[in-house]
Structure 1
Amino acid sequence: MTDTVVVPPDVLTAVRTKHRALWAAGNYPVLAAEVIPALGPVLVEAAGVGPGDHVLDVAAGSGNAAIPAALAGAHVIASDLTPELFDAGRAAAATSGAELTWAEADAHSLPFDDAAFDRVLSCVGVMFAPFHGTAADELLRVTRPGGTIGLIAWTPAGFIGQMFATMKPYAPPPPPGAEPPPLWGDEAHVRALFGDGVTDLHAEVRTLPVARFSSGAEFRDFFKAVYGPTIAVYRAVADSAERTAALDQELLDLAARFQDADGAMGWDYLLLTATRA
């Protein structure tokens, strides 16, 4: 692994508070269930999760990967900074017959023992921990030697990566040392983060078909209502009708670049698996 810059505790505390509120806003479980439910099973299969495995899902949200992992027979802990998401996860787990444990945890400082898990997963989750080196070191620390780390992250050039690029000029400045979430979708960046802490790293870009939105306006308004990062950006410009209208239009333009005539889109993501050295 590479040398990691130590983030001051007060900065981590402030980020933790801000990000918990961000992801508690809106209704992320609706997005997970209606737009990206296919991603969790893809990650579980790629990571080779099976009966008896001890699995940690980092930044699990409402269990998009954790629940399929439990249904595969693993002993699963779904951890997330925002426990407000767990009620929806517990309901989904009960409906599917999955049994797992839910734990509040910050990806920058996981409350688990070294080498405690056979498989450590994160499905478009850990990518939003802004101090990438610190989060990567934690993923490595809790994975046993010979165990598997499996990640899905949105790519910088794909739809969600471009959505974040579109919103960036309207957002408050990030804390010093923070890195953009879609960098986790860049293979070279993740290879550098893990360094010699892993072997047999395999990465490929795949595309998630998304047919949930019939128009750009429907996409924009859905994200404005349920997705924490989008809600936060609109709040940041709420006192300016001009900037709000400009952001509205830029998100419509973004959708137009990616949607076909029927409104369907393809969202690129990086699927990565690696063996803990």
Structure 2
Amino acid sequence: MTDPTEFVDADRALKAAHRTMWGLGNYPAVAAEVVRELGPTLVRACGVEAGQRVLDVAAGSGNAALPAAVAGATVIASDLTPELFARGRELAAAQQVDLEWIQGDAEALPFADNEFDIVMSCVGVMFAPHHQQSADELVRVCRDGGTIGLINWTPDGFIGKMFSAMKPYAAPPPPGAQPPPLWGDEAHVRGQFGVRVRELTAEVKTLTVDTFARPEDFVHYFKKNYGPTIAVYRRIADDHAAVAALDSSLIELAGQFYEGKAMKWEYLIVTAKVRR
């Protein structure tokens, strides 16, 4: 029989690795320069209004938390990687809005039951490894009748395909960990929430990314700025053939998602009402 403490130790090690990974590079730059419009899109979908209490889970540097605060809500931005908060605080000061930044694990949120009117996550909670635990926590901290809102990359969209391309070069996931793009599958999301939500709506949309003139520019940028990509390349840094193969694979993949001068990245946007 496996000692339960082994599972606890393994989970702690996994979370520490995730925190380190998202602290690599410059995710705040990715949020501001590549996926900036997703945060406001999610805030609009959730119907954020002045006076509401809003929690942004896996908030990073505040891509969704900041526009929620601009809308007049009382906002807490929570993330496993508090190193990302520094840039968020700078942006909040520049926009003259106040919000609270609290370190927290999406699978064990440090908040009370029924505490928030809106609980949202913009391409964030999908990266927590145990999906059911994360879904349970989203429901737990949202009040009865409150809104859960999510934007997640889809399995068949560009980012989902990128993770598939990197998988052979990445460290094997620990037992029980689930792939992030599953959160971009409507059936999977419905299964995680079950009867605890009502009025669940899910729509596949496309983000137009015109940041990169060529596929090679995308690969260079993500190797420099995006934590998961950096972590994979660090793992194979001494294997020059593997590095070249992954470069080639990502360049080819990126090229498949160009329409004219811009890339098209697919995501799923979900909103639902909590039902106690």
The TM-score normalised by the length of structure 1 is 0.96
> What is aligned with 2:143?
144
User: Is 1:204 matched with 2:203?
Assistant: yes
Secondary structure at the aligned position of 1:8 is classed as helix
CA distance in 2, matches of 1:231, 1:10: 25
C-alpha RMSD over aligned residues: 1.0
> What is aligned with 2:68?
69
Secondary structure at the aligned position of 1:49 is classed as coil
CA distance in 2, matches of 1:11, 1:58: 23
> What is aligned with 1:35?
34
> What is aligned with 2:125?
126
> What is aligned with 2:263?
265
Aligned length: 270
Give the drift of 1:197.
Answer: 1.0
The residue identity in structure 2 corresponding to 1:153 is N
Q: Deviations over 1:203-225 (max 9, x none)?
A: 00010110000001100000000
CA distance in 1, matches of 2:196, 2:234: 40
> What is aligned with 2:255?
256
CA distance in 2, matches of 1:95, 1:11: 40
User: Is 1:216 matched with 2:215?
Assistant: yes
CA distance in 1, matches of 2:147, 2:164: 31
Unaligned runs of 5+ residues in structure 2 are 1-5
Secondary structure at the aligned position of 2:102 is classed as strand
CA distance in 2, matches of 1:96, 1:175: 41
Secondary structure at the aligned position of 2:105 is classed as coil
> What is aligned with 1:274?
272
Q: Deviations over 1:224-243 (max 9, x none)?
A: 00000000110111111000
Aligned pairs for 1:56-95 (under 5 A) are 56-95=55-94
CA distance in 2, matches of 1:226, 1:176: 28
> What is aligned with 2:17?
18
CA distance in 1, matches of 2:113, 2:223: 39
Give the drift of 1:12.
Answer: 2.2
The residue identity in structure 2 corresponding to 1:116 is E
Q: Deviations over 1:117-176 (max 9, x none)?
A: 000000000000011011111101101110000000000000111110110111010110
Give the drift of 1:9.
Answer: 2.4
> What is aligned with 2:181?
182
The residue identity in structure 2 corresponding to 1:10 is D
The residue identity in structure 2 corresponding to 1:79 is S
Runs of 4+ displaced beyond 4 Å:
none
Once the two structures are aligned, what percentage of the paired residues are identical?
60
User: Is 1:226 matched with 2:225?
Assistant: yes
Secondary structure at the aligned position of 1:184 is classed as helix
CA distance in 2, matches of 1:202, 1:40: 18
Secondary structure at the aligned position of 2:150 is classed as strand
Secondary structure at the aligned position of 1:113 is classed as coil
Q: Deviations over 1:173-206 (max 9, x none)?
A: 0110011000000000000000111011000001
CA distance in 1, matches of 2:8, 2:151: 28
> What is aligned with 2:3?
none
The residue identity in structure 2 corresponding to 1:71 is V
Secondary structure at the aligned position of 2:146 is classed as strand
Give the drift of 1:11.
Answer: 2.6
Unaligned runs of 5+ residues in structure 1 are 1-6
Give the drift of 1:16.
Answer: 1.2
Give the drift of 1:8.
Answer: 3.5
Give the drift of 1:261.
Answer: 4.1
Greater CA drift, 239-248 or 11-20: 11-20
CA distance in 2, matches of 1:252, 1:266: 15
CA distance in 1, matches of 2:181, 2:260: 27
